[in-house]
Chains A and B, each alone.
Chain A
């Protein structure tokens, strides 16, 4: 660099200084992006029994979340049971006088295997049958001396099962001792049980929401009575009823979200703990609980339901408050 260049460079501001000059100042940034000073709420928060209402909403959301979580678990478990049941049917071949049981089993396997929708056929041999009966009859038993039926486990395509009526008719015609059990009765009972549990859960949810609505309605009426001078002033300066109701609704939406988040968060924690410790808390083997409820753990969908429930509770709280204010103002007007 020549002496002239160096002098010119010295005369120019340094790069960092130029960058700094191009950037907005701290004050400008605050003015541009900083939080605007918050307006004082027209309905003062202190005038609403906020603490008590938040506690009530939190308790209600907790109960509703537990119920919703249980419903989701039962729905999931029932779907899993039904899917298991739908994947498999059983054919039982009974020994009959004058007939060769092994030949009947072989013929049944042949008939079943050719039916469309059947993916696998697994006949149980004598040893497996003996194992099944071992808890009742003891070990070392020779099944030859007993008329023990043989089971054939048939795997089917869940969405496209075979035509059971036709299959039953064909088996009845060709193998008189064979009966097909498609587990429909069992599946029906399972579905009825799950539906009942879900129905009860939904009824509890509805009751909890109704109790929330009533609590919020009482709290809103109390808040309106306390804020009567404020409401009068709002009317005198030309506020419409909808504006006044909106002021109350804002408060109650916040209270609903606050209480809902506490209750929903507590319920999520409970489900998380249940998922971690399984059924041990209830003195059951973890495996039993897992078999019944898939480990009692709530899946991502379940937690999403809890988040949705918190939003619903907050919304119900806000809408109830708005409705009560609107109706009260209409009556007063």
Chain B
């Protein structure tokens, strides 16, 4: 599904923040991406999410060499990836329901065709009563769940989550992890970037550890 070969990344003329990354992400797999702060977890996620281009090496995503794709093709490829940002990135002027439905709206689907789907997912993540609420009035946990719902509504093949439990209490963190595990069981590959050792200890999964710009894979 994802293949990195000798990938390196530097910002401008600065030093390489990621060096010689070679790894794969298989379909239906679950992995934690971890490492100390500043190790390059977010940069690697951005490479995975096609919002950055590597300065060297080869990235293959869904059998496409991303270096050869134009902007529109990258957009189409991105539809197969869901991402949960640490800061949620919900649109404050749209209701929770509309935020979650946004990926389907962008695909050009009629509201009637996805209303039930979105409502069902919102109930599933425990936001059934908060559909009409605007993001500024949601709690941190509710925002996190809305962001996750938005990331998975279009049934992506790959889900990337950047510190998804960073702003929530341990109980909610446990519930969110269960949510990711359920998604993985339903066929989505999951990559969770976190430095929360407690979270990783709760689920036995592959670990990709970034250290000084290099990656170490622990299957």
Nearest Cβ in chain A — how far from B201, in angstroms?
Answer: 30
Q: Which chain A residue lies CB-closest to B153?
A: A237
Instruction: Tell me whether A240 and B72 are in contact in the complex, defined as CB-CB below 8 angstroms, given that A40-B95, A42-B91 are known contacts.
Output: yes
Q: Does A44 contact B (CB under 8 A)?
A: yes
Q: Is the CB of A237 within 8 A of B150?
A: yes
Interface membership of chain A positions 50-77, coded 1 if the CB is closer than 8 angstroms to chain B and 0 otherwise:
0000000000000000000000000000
Question: What's the A-B contact tally at a CB cutoff of 8 Å?
Answer: 59
Q: Does B137 contact A (CB under 8 A)?
A: no
Q: Is the CB of A241 within 8 A of B71?
A: yes
Q: Does B116 contact A (CB under 8 A)?
A: no
Cβ contacts under 8 Å, B91 to chain A:
42, 229-230, 233
Cβ contacts under 8 Å, A238 to chain B:
75-76, 78-79, 103, 106-107, 154
Nearest Cβ in chain A — how far from B137, in angstroms?
Answer: 15
**A232 CA to B102 CA, complexed, in Å:** 13
Q: Is the CB of B71 within 8 A of A236?
A: no
B70-94 residues at the A interface, CB under 8 angstroms = 71-72, 75-76, 78-79, 83, 89, 91, 93-94
Q: Does B182 contact A (CB under 8 A)?
A: no
Cβ contacts under 8 Å, B98 to chain A:
39-40
A118-157 residues at the B interface, CB under 8 angstroms = none
**A242 CA to B71 CA, complexed, in Å:** 11
Interface membership of chain B positions 197-218, coded 1 if the CB is closer than 8 angstroms to chain A and 0 otherwise:
0000000000000000000000
Q: Does B51 contact A (CB under 8 A)?
A: yes
Cβ contacts under 8 Å, A276 to chain B:
none
Q: Is the CB of A239 within 8 A of B75?
A: yes
Cβ contacts under 8 Å, A40 to chain B:
93-95, 98
Q: Does A234 contact B (CB under 8 A)?
A: yes
Q: Is the CB of A39 within 8 A of B89?
A: no
Q: Is the CB of A237 within 8 A of B51?
A: no
Q: Does B117 contact A (CB under 8 A)?
A: no
Cβ contacts under 8 Å, B78 to chain A:
235-238
Q: Does B180 contact A (CB under 8 A)?
A: no
**A44 CA to B94 CA, complexed, in Å:** 9
B95-114 residues at the A interface, CB under 8 angstroms = 95, 98, 102-103, 105-107, 111
Q: Does A243 contact B (CB under 8 A)?
A: yes
Interface membership of chain B positions 121-153, coded 1 if the CB is closer than 8 angstroms to chain A and 0 otherwise:
000000000000000000000000000001000
Q: Is the CB of B111 within 8 A of A44?
A: no
Q: Does B49 contact A (CB under 8 A)?
A: yes
Cβ contacts under 8 Å, A239 to chain B:
75, 106
Contacting residue for A233 out of B49, B89, B111, B154, CB 8 A: B89
Q: Does A35 contact B (CB under 8 A)?
A: no
Contacting residue for A237 out of B72, B94, B95, B106, CB 8 A: B106
Nearest Cβ in chain B — how far from A234, in angstroms?
Answer: 7
Cβ contacts under 8 Å, A241 to chain B:
71-72, 75
Q: Which chain A residue lies CB-closest to B82?
A: A237
Contacting residue for B102 out of A36, A233, A240, A242, CB 8 A: A233
**A46 CA to B94 CA, complexed, in Å:** 13
- Residue among B75, B78, B105, B150 facing the most chain A CB atoms (10 A cut-off): B75
Q: Is the CB of A237 within 8 A of B79?
A: yes
**A270 CA to B150 CA, complexed, in Å:** 53
Q: Is the CB of B106 within 8 A of A243?
A: yes
Cβ contacts under 8 Å, A235 to chain B:
51, 75, 78
Q: Does A333 contact B (CB under 8 A)?
A: yes
Q: Is the CB of B93 within 8 A of A44?
A: yes
**A237 CA to B104 CA, complexed, in Å:** 9
Nearest Cβ in chain A — how far from B38, in angstroms?
Answer: 23
**A241 CA to B111 CA, complexed, in Å:** 22
Interface membership of chain A positions 6-31, coded 1 if the CB is closer than 8 angstroms to chain B and 0 otherwise:
00000000000000000000000000
A90-126 residues at the B interface, CB under 8 angstroms = none
**A241 CA to B74 CA, complexed, in Å:** 11
**A234 CA to B91 CA, complexed, in Å:** 10
Cβ contacts under 8 Å, A237 to chain B:
78-79, 102-103, 106, 150, 154
Q: Which chain B residue lies CB-closest to A242?
A: B72
**A243 CA to B79 CA, complexed, in Å:** 14
Interface membership of chain A positions 226-269, coded 1 if the CB is closer than 8 angstroms to chain B and 0 otherwise:
00011011111111111100000000000000000000000000
Beyond A238-B154, A239-B106, 6 extra complex contacts between A and B, CB < 8 Å: A39-B98, A42-B102, A232-B89, A235-B75, A241-B71, A333-B71
B: residues with CB less than 8 A from A are 49, 51, 71-72, 75-76, 78-79, 83, 89, 91, 93-95, 98, 102-103, 105-107, 111, 150, 154
The 4 A-B residue pairs with the shortest CB-CB distance in the complex, in nearest-first order: A238-B79, A237-B103, A44-B93, A238-B78
CB-defined A-B contacts under 8 Å, sample of 23: A40-B95, A42-B91, A42-B102, A42-B105, A230-B91, A233-B102, A234-B102, A234-B106, A235-B78, A236-B49, A236-B83, A237-B79, A237-B103, A238-B75, A238-B79, A238-B154, A239-B75, A240-B71, A241-B72, A241-B75, A242-B72, A330-B71, A333-B71
